[in-house]
Amino acid sequence: MDSQPIDALEEMEGREKRLPLNSLHVQKLLLIVNRLHVLLHSTALAFMFYYRVCFLFQPTETREGHELLPWLLVSASEAILSFLWVLDQAFRWRPVSRSVFPERLPEDHKLSPIDVFICTADPTKEPTLDVMNTVLSSMALDYPPNKLHVYLSDDAGSPLTLHGMREACKFARWWLPFCRRYKINNRCPKAYFSALEDNAHADFARSSLYVADKHTIKEKYEAFEEAIKTFRKDSASSRDHPSLIEVIQESTIDDVDNVKMPLLVYVSREKMASHPHHFKAGALNVLLRVSWVMSNSPYILVLDCDMFCNDPTSARYAMCFHLDPKISSSLSFVQFPQKFHNISKNDIYDSQLRSLFSVQWQGMDGLMGPVMSGTGFYIKRASLFGNCASKGSDLLQQKDQFGSSNEFGSSLDRDYTSESVSDQKHTLLEESHLLASCNYEIGTKWGEEVGFLYYSVVEDYLTGFMLHCNGWSSVFCEPSRPQFLGKATTNLNDVLIQGTRWHSGLFENGINRFCPLMYWPTRLPFLQCLCFAWLTYFPLYCVPLCCLATVPQLSLLNGIPLYPKVSDPFFIVFVFIFLSALVKHLLEVSLTGGTLHKWINEQRIWMMKSVTCNLHGCLDALLKKFGIREATFVPTNKLEDDEQTLLYQMDKYDFRASNIFIAPMLFLITVNIYCLVGGVYRVFLVGDWDKLFIQLFLAVFIVTVNYPLVEGLLLRKDKGRISKLVAIPVILPTLALLAFFNLLGNV
């Protein structure tokens, strides 16, 4: 794999042969535990399948009392669950962790430049002040300012955002020197001013000069805040607007005030309703092109507007991998975990996506590297040009792939020079407008082979997947202090809407030409392939979970046993599988800092998500596949809502969610409660409890874990409860149906 030769890299090879910039540790104990669990659990699964298969092949006469259809449904559910379980084990095969030694990096003047890309889409959902805080935190990264270039993409083309950028830039002239002088850790101003403890460097924290300076800066910040709040101008429509590119701040090395500032550019691409704009991937590709004619840095940090830099060292940490001669030639990106600043202790919605970012990505890191996660990653620019951009390749061919900008064509071959912007400002700005226009990509390979890929609303997953298929690797870097902090969705409706988008996007990639299983063995190693496959297929949890929340219960109501009797040796097999899965999950939760509460919450939200957003995601993907529905990307809501936040902090579900989510949950809980009551009654009458024990237990388990639903329906009085208006039209017909079914069974 060829990559841009970097001076610093060569330098490194010569100078610091013995001192590595990073190190990798295999987590041996965890590895052993995981593999042992795989062994035991899979043996149990084999016995379970043996039991199921034997049943299906036994002569029909001996099948007394058993009905074929429910058996088949339950067996199929078990097969799907086992399939997903197998895929999931690939993440647990070789968990690793990494350390970095940034103090061993070459001197500042030898470091490679970095472009920072930040995307925003809608100022009504993404408060401008927060977006600007993200911008400021990235400008203040601990990196030579003349080697840092910050680009903001504004998909709404909003005057408010442009205004915000100008104000942010003014404030930055105060903020950046302040952060550097006092070695502030927390360089997002909003977070800094609201932090409980002061995080200036210990040398200064108590000096009177610092206290005075802090006071001045605080006033400046409040003025900046005010300037954004009081800005009144009709927001332009977000659908149609021409491109607008403005260099807010040129890169200054030594200004009159001696303030060193990174380059700051505002980019709003052209948008027309008649042109597909490909959401975030489209925005990032415009930034790729515009930045290419302006700063053309070999490395790029991508950030969502809701995720600020919580620690200024991330750039240097990332360079510890990118400049490591051992891995750098095939390394595409360094991914930091998504961490969030608004997570409550027990995290009822699993908003932090614990398993993804603290178990699964570590596991992939031990294979080929984690999946690109949309935000908080440092990527090598060259890796985004697929196999198209080998240096010095034929200019005509390049135009086919990259489009017809002359500047752009020539910059493919050009290495970064710090003068590139100021030199030919006018031609460059004109050129940028061409690069940000709707028509530019027509007939090129953008979004297909070049840049961030368009085929999916989870552009991050897909782009990362194709990079791995093309032989690039990635690295997961998880220092103890979170480098980036974002805003997670913390109310049921937002969580489920976001989940629907993700699951639809992921599942879609499992059933189209990007199906990971087809890329093995030629393009992907086996275990990496299983990881990707799990990511595209886990939305399928909806099938077994919907089945197992209805079929065994209805069978219980009618006295049809579907599992072995308590006295049957196979009973142990089922008990073992159930316990082994739960205990393993509990172990992982506690190893990653979770509580017992968190564990139950994760079980519950897994069930809730499976029967709602997984289901909707799968259906949405299928509809898209058959051309019935178009892709949409509804950005999440980033506004603060005190009432919702309070409910979340108190571990109370906010059931004011769309009916399409509440209805399936209500339906299933009603079925379970009804069948549980009916089942217990039946078992008392007939006395065949040992035949139906597992089914009884399943209903008890589901109802207990989902007790908050019952509470929300019957006991709660606050605004987050389930409204009777929503509940009655679901519950009454369900009860009628069940009663009818019950009668039918007793005839």
Binding-site annotation: residue ranges for UDP-alpha-D-glucose? 125-126, 155
Question: Residue 460's binding partner, choosing from Mn ion, ligand UPG, none, with beta-carbon cut-off 5 to 8 A by kind?
Answer: ligand UPG
CB 117 within 8 A of CB 300: yes
C-alpha to C-alpha distance for 649 and 652, rounded to whole angstroms: 8
Give residue number: closest CB to Mn ion.
Answer: 306
Minimum gap (Å) between residue 10 Cβ and ligand UPG: 34
Q: Which of 115, 167, 270, 304 binds ligand UPG (CB under 6 A)?
A: 304
Minimum gap (Å) between residue 302 Cβ and ligand UPG: 8
Minimum gap (Å) between residue 457 Cβ and ligand UPG: 5
C-alpha to C-alpha distance for 19 and 509, rounded to whole angstroms: 42
Dig out the tokens for 465 from the structure. Answer: 């997947």
Question: Residue 78's binding partner, choosing from Mn ion, ligand UPG, none, with beta-carbon cut-off 5 to 8 A by kind?
Answer: none
What residue has token string 């300037």?
Answer: 227
Minimum gap (Å) between residue 78 Cβ and ligand UPG: 31
Encoded one letter per residue, x for contact with ligand UPG by CB under 6 A and - for no contact, window 123-142 reads ---x----------------
Q: Which of 228, 267, 348, 457 binds ligand UPG (CB under 6 A)?
A: 457
Residue 418, interface with ligand UPG (CB under 6 A)?
A: no
Closest-CA residue to 538 (of 85, 73, 35): 85
* Start-to-end Cα distance in the chain: 71
Considering only residues 664 through 693, tell me which ones interact with ligand UPG, judged by CB under 6 A.
none
Residue 185, interface with ligand UPG (CB under 6 A)?
A: no
Considering only residues 37 through 56, tell me which ones interact with ligand UPG, judged by CB under 6 A.
none
Residue 654, interface with Mn ion (CB under 5 A)?
A: no
Residue 121, interface with ligand UPG (CB under 6 A)?
A: yes
Q: Which of 214, 501, 604, 624 binds ligand UPG (CB under 6 A)?
A: 501
Q: Which of 155, 270, 508, 602 binds ligand UPG (CB under 6 A)?
A: 155
Residue 213, interface with ligand UPG (CB under 6 A)?
A: no
409's CB contacts (< 8 A; 6+ apart) are 395, 398, 399, 402
CB nearer to ligand UPG: give 305 or 556: 305
Burial class (CB in 10 A: 0-12, 13-18, 19+), 69: exposed
Residue 306, interface with ligand UPG (CB under 6 A)?
A: yes
What residue has token string 């891995």?
Answer: 327
Give residue number: closest CB to ligand UPG.
Answer: 374
Residue 620, interface with ligand UPG (CB under 6 A)?
A: no
CB 539 within 8 A of CB 618: yes
Beta strands in 419-471 (DSSP E): none
CB nearer to Mn ion: give 485 or 668: 485
429's CB contacts (< 8 A; 6+ apart) are 245, 247
CB 140 within 8 A of CB 222: no
Which sequence positions are flagged as catalytic? 155, 460
Encoded one letter per residue, x for contact with ligand UPG by CB under 6 A and - for no contact, window 283-302 reads x-------------------
The annotation places the binding site at 125-126, 155, 280, 304
Question: Residue 317's binding partner, choosing from Mn ion, ligand UPG, none, with beta-carbon cut-off 5 to 8 A by kind?
Answer: none
- Radius of gyration over alpha carbons of the chain, in Å? 28
Please report, for residues 287, 354, 436, 608, 618, the alpha-carbon distance to residue 622 in angstroms, rounded to integers and kept in the order given.
32, 28, 33, 21, 6
590's CB contacts (< 8 A; 6+ apart) are 599
Q: Which of 633, 689, 693, 741 binds ligand UPG (CB under 6 A)?
A: 633
C-alpha to C-alpha distance for 641 and 433, rounded to whole angstroms: 38
Q: How does strand 339-340 pair with strand 307-309?
A: unpaired
Please report, for residues 322, 324, 451, 474, the alpha-carbon distance to residue 6 in angstroms, rounded to integers and kept in the order given.
10, 11, 21, 19
Minimum gap (Å) between residue 245 Cβ and ligand UPG: 16
Q: Is 20 left (phi over 0), alpha (psi -120 to 50) or beta?
A: beta
Q: Which of 365, 460, 620, 654 binds ligand UPG (CB under 6 A)?
A: 460
Determine the angle formed by the axes of helices 615-625 and 492-510, rounding to 10 degrees.
Answer: 40
Binding residues for ligand UPG, rule CB under 6 A, total: 24
CB 236 within 8 A of CB 158: yes
Q: How does strand 244-249 pair with strand 148-154?
A: unpaired
Encoded one letter per residue, x for contact with ligand UPG by CB under 6 A and - for no contact, window 532-561 reads ------------------------------
CB nearer to ligand UPG: give 126 or 588: 126
C-alpha to C-alpha distance for 164 and 224, rounded to whole angstroms: 9
CB nearer to Mn ion: give 81 or 119: 119
Please choose, out of 276-284, 290-298, 596-604, 608-616, the segment that lies near ligand UPG by the rule CB under 6 A: 276-284
Task: Count CA within 13 A, CB hemisphere, residue 394.
Answer: 4
C-alpha to C-alpha distance for 302 and 378, rounded to whole angstroms: 7
Closest-CA residue to 332 (of 441, 447, 460, 456): 460
- The 3-state DSSP class for residue 626 equals coil
The annotation places the binding site for Mn(2+) at 280, 304
Minimum gap (Å) between residue 304 Cβ and Mn ion: 5
Residue 120, interface with ligand UPG (CB under 6 A)?
A: yes
CB nearer to ligand UPG: give 239 or 425: 239
CB nearer to Mn ion: give 153 or 405: 153
Dig out the tokens for 539 from the structure. Answer: 């939305």
CB nearer to ligand UPG: give 450 or 457: 457
CB 333 within 8 A of CB 371: no
CB 699 within 8 A of CB 633: no
Residue 306, interface with Mn ion (CB under 5 A)?
A: yes
Residues forming beta bridges with residue 160, ordered by sequence position: none
Please choose, out of 115-123, 525-533, 542-550, 727-735, the segment that lies near ligand UPG by the rule CB under 6 A: 115-123
C-alpha to C-alpha distance for 46 and 473, rounded to whole angstroms: 35
Minimum gap (Å) between residue 496 Cβ and ligand UPG: 12
Considering only residues 245 through 304, tell me which ones interact with Mn ion, judged by CB under 5 A.
304
Residue 305, interface with ligand UPG (CB under 6 A)?
A: yes
Residue 498, interface with ligand UPG (CB under 6 A)?
A: yes
Residue 602, interface with ligand UPG (CB under 6 A)?
A: no
Interacting residues with ligand UPG (CB under 6 A): 119-121, 126, 153, 155, 279-280, 283, 304-306, 374-375, 457-460, 498, 501-502, 633, 635-636
Interacting residues with Mn ion (CB under 5 A): 304, 306
